[in-house]
Structure 1
Amino acid sequence: MNIKTSIEELRHISYRFKVRLIYNSAFGKALRKTTWKIAGPDDGVVVTYSDKHHVFDKHTTNHIQDARIIEKFAWEVNRWSLQSDVIFKLEGEITVEPKNSLAYLSNNRFFKPTRSNAHEYLVPEISKDLLHRAFSRKYTHYDALIHLDGFIGKNLYHFFDESVNALLLFQKVDNTDLRIPLLINEKVYTHSYVKYLLALPEFKDLQIVVQRADEWIKVKKLYKATPSYSLWADCYVTMARHVVKNPHRRIFLNRKPQFQRRLTNNAAIEAIVKQYGFEVIYAEDLTYAEQVAMFAETEYFIGLHGAGFTNLIFSDLSRVHVLEIFSESLVHPHYYWYLELLKVNYYDAIMGSVLDVNWNYSLDEAIFSEQMRLMMQENNTLGHHNRPIPIAGPGMEKSV
């Protein structure tokens, strides 16, 4: 083991220790709840629109072979079946800090920035707020802003799920003045996919305010939309206007060595996919426009669980076959959810080993080869393995 590898392993161990001890520990959670409260009606938050949906009640397991994945997905479907489309308005003396564009009132009430439980540890830093007030007091002032994205859009999937779909919800409901500027953090805005999507005809005339890394903001009114998964259907229709779909390519979307969650037996897996005529693609080698064009031409898609699956929104899902690769340590149904909602032709998933200290894992080559063979068989499109997932029942509903 070389020095570079040892340092990398220590960095990963340190990060996971910090997450467990500070972010996800009982102490960390109690400290956040004591210090910060989510702003509600008593603090000036008004719900201007709300609509509930059982978004997953027609989901099936499609062609999934692995019983463990079926069980995991079923549990998640039951847990999150009931979701809401909500538009909020917050009025008061609102501060927006620059690191993650977190918005809060002077009484430590903050405007929850995302419905994602994975980011519940992100709250404003009191020390920085106090220091700024004590030594600077320099703010950019606005009468009103629409909070589009502060940090979550650094991930492609989350930008679609909670920012693009939020914009579609605003446009669909039409009860918010979209001449009000959209607030987006600089660290999000710099991503090529963000600029590509905000330049689409549906959004290009909207006014954008980019919050700089050192810019503190004061605003009197702040609007925020949290879309349910039902908005993925609107998103699919919207994106279809901007691509010419011609599904014929076989794509294996892989990860380069500098990234986590890679396959330790990568060479063997690549050899298997190439036997079936798949191209091995690395997203970072393509511009975002080139990625969009590639997915519009994709008919068979295999990839390691990650944000790249989001771009299937540009594919002809009525013809696409998908095989998603998970580590046993991270089995999340986000892409299965939206692909099933949009009636993808074929979806299967395979589970590899647990993540090692560097967050990499291996895949059983024989099982992978067999699931590839099944995916390539035309008669699998008939749904021989379809088994319904139980939908949320009484006492099992939970909004997101």
Structure 2
Amino acid sequence: MANPYTKPLHLVRKRIVRWAEHGLMPAIERESAAQLIHHESRQKDWGVDLPDLPEHIQALYRVWQTDPDESWVRLYRGPATLDPVAGLVFVRGRVVWGSTDARPRVRERSPKWQVHWGGDHRRFDAVISLRSIFETNYFHYLNDVLPKLRLAEQLGLPESIPVVVSERLAACRFFADTVRLGFFGGRQVIVQGAREAIAAKEIYVPSDFDCDRVAYDWLCDRLGAGCHADKGGAIYVHRGASSPNRRGYRNEAEVFRLMARHGVRVVDPAEYSLAEQIDLFSRAGLVIGPHGAGLVNLLFRRGPGDLLELFNPNIGTPHYYLIARLRGLGYRWRYNLSPQGKENVASSEMDIAAVELALKELMG
């Protein structure tokens, strides 16, 4: 039987650590440490009326409507160091809280304090930080990490300034594929070790808009996604054994039979290179799949189409609805049945009857 006190004690410990870090450790205010060299804000055009989304997604949608939507680049002049955990900046050995790309309501992670105070750092005149809170998640990689380079280029930062990525991100197949596709051009990529602070006289920290059509078009052009005006085929995004979150279907055999009946191709994005995923989704006229990072590939579709998103109750965000909307795609959703396990990794059963009805309506 689980200890009922474990979670409260864990939360208390985190709050004590957070209090000590913010109240006792040497820090410097972001406004005095950084120069804001680029800033844009925009009014969300989501409208007042809520779209047809599950109730728990609507609740989050309401919150997001009130959050600021901003694109910015901050310059930190040294001596400065970049933390290995998620890219916090230290100036003269003092932490700058708020120096990551964390969006509203996302807590910055505790840094590795000791690596900034002494030791042999790799030193550069200037670097551009591509570090991000959730950088190894495929959705956040395409939505948050890569668009940072668009801002750097928009500001005319010379190609001689290298970019910094984490060791964990560099180990991801999709990052290696991005390099092979020539995404970074002649710009050097610095891989930051898990216990290494990178030192520089100047550190540029960019953060682009969330779910941005301009950034998505730039990514498509940069990564070679084609424009396909035809309706395209239908694909089902399968969460295979290598999926980082184990939200699989217990009635998987029935799911596969359903897709076969309607001529829907079953694909596991993890089995494809980045170039193959781009080509596959740029041609897909109908995408069906459970909520998860594989659906971010919808941004590569620049033609007519639809998304049918499948949710476990209490899990998910409006991101894929927003991407579908930006891409001019139709959007529908259905709930999964009988989730079992912790919410973020719960298995479930596809509602075969409900999904089949939706497929008949969408495919004619």
TM-score band, normalised by the shorter chain? Answer: 0.7 to 0.9
Aligned mates of 1:297, 1:19 — CA distance in 2: 49
2:69 counterpart SS class: strand
Give the direction of change, closer, same or farther, for the CA distance of 1:83–1:116 in structure 2 (3 Å limit): closer
Aligned mates of 1:304, 1:38 — CA distance in 2: 43
- CA displacement at 1:89 relative to structure 2: 0.6
- CA displacement at 1:263 relative to structure 2: 1.9
1:153 counterpart SS class: coil
Aligned to 1:275: 261
Give the direction of change, closer, same or farther, for the CA distance of 1:214–1:67 in structure 2 (3 Å limit): closer
Q: Kindly, what percent of the aligned residue pairs are identical? A: 18
- CA displacement at 1:84 relative to structure 2: 1.0
TM-score by length of 2: 0.83
Residue number among 371, 395, 398 corresponding to 2:358 in the alignment: 371
Residue number among 91, 114, 129 corresponding to 2:115 in the alignment: 129
Aligned mates of 1:244, 1:218 — CA distance in 2: 40
Query: Does structure 1 retain, via aligned residues, the 8 Å contact 2:304–2:328?
Result: no
- CA displacement at 1:199 relative to structure 2: 4.9
Aligned mates of 2:199, 2:40 — CA distance in 1: 30
Aligned to 1:389: none
- CA displacement at 1:48 relative to structure 2: 0.7
Structure 1: stretches of 5+ with no match in the other structure: 1-9, 378-400
Matches within 5 A, 1:203-222: 203-222=184-203
- Cα shift readout 1:80-111 (whole Å, capped 9, x = no counterpart): 4x411111011232222334444323233345
- 1:263 paired to 2:249: yes
Residue number among 18, 31, 45 corresponding to 1:41 in the alignment: 31
Give the direction of change, closer, same or farther, for the CA distance of 1:222–1:20 in structure 2 (3 Å limit): farther
Aligned mates of 1:24, 1:177 — CA distance in 2: 44
Aligned to 2:138: 156
Aligned to 1:298: 284
1:86 counterpart SS class: strand
Matches within 5 A, 1:289-328: 289-316=275-302, 318-328=303-313
Give the direction of change, closer, same or farther, for the CA distance of 1:258–1:144 in structure 2 (3 Å limit): closer
1:152 counterpart SS class: coil
Aligned to 1:71: 58
- Cα shift readout 1:212-270 (whole Å, capped 9, x = no counterpart): 34533222211111111364333225414613344522111111245411122322233
Give the direction of change, closer, same or farther, for the CA distance of 1:209–1:83 in structure 2 (3 Å limit): same
TM-score by length of 1: 0.76
Matches within 5 A, 1:45-64: 45-57=34-46, 64=52
- Cα shift readout 1:182-233 (whole Å, capped 9, x = no counterpart): 1111221232322333455563122222223453322221111111136433
- Cα shift readout 1:57-96 (whole Å, capped 9, x = no counterpart): 359767x4x552673364145234x411111011232222
Q: Which has the higher contact order (CA 8 A, sep 6+)?
A: 1
- CA displacement at 1:170 relative to structure 2: 2.3
- CA displacement at 1:34 relative to structure 2: 3.1
The CA RMSD over aligned residues, in Å, is 3.2
Aligned to 2:217: 236
User: Relative to structure 2, which stretch is displaced further, 139-148 or 255-264?
Assistant: 255-264
- CA displacement at 1:355 relative to structure 2: 5.1
User: Relative to structure 2, which stretch is displaced further, 111-120 or 332-341?
Assistant: 111-120
Aligned mates of 1:244, 1:95 — CA distance in 2: 40
- CA displacement at 1:22 relative to structure 2: 4.3
- CA displacement at 1:33 relative to structure 2: 3.6
Aligned to 2:347: 360
Query: Does structure 2 retain, via aligned residues, the 8 Å contact 1:24–1:121?
Result: no
Query: Does structure 2 retain, via aligned residues, the 8 Å contact 1:23–1:121?
Result: no
| Count of equivalent residues | 352
Residue number among 99, 111, 121 corresponding to 1:139 in the alignment: 121
Aligned mates of 1:121, 1:160 — CA distance in 2: 20
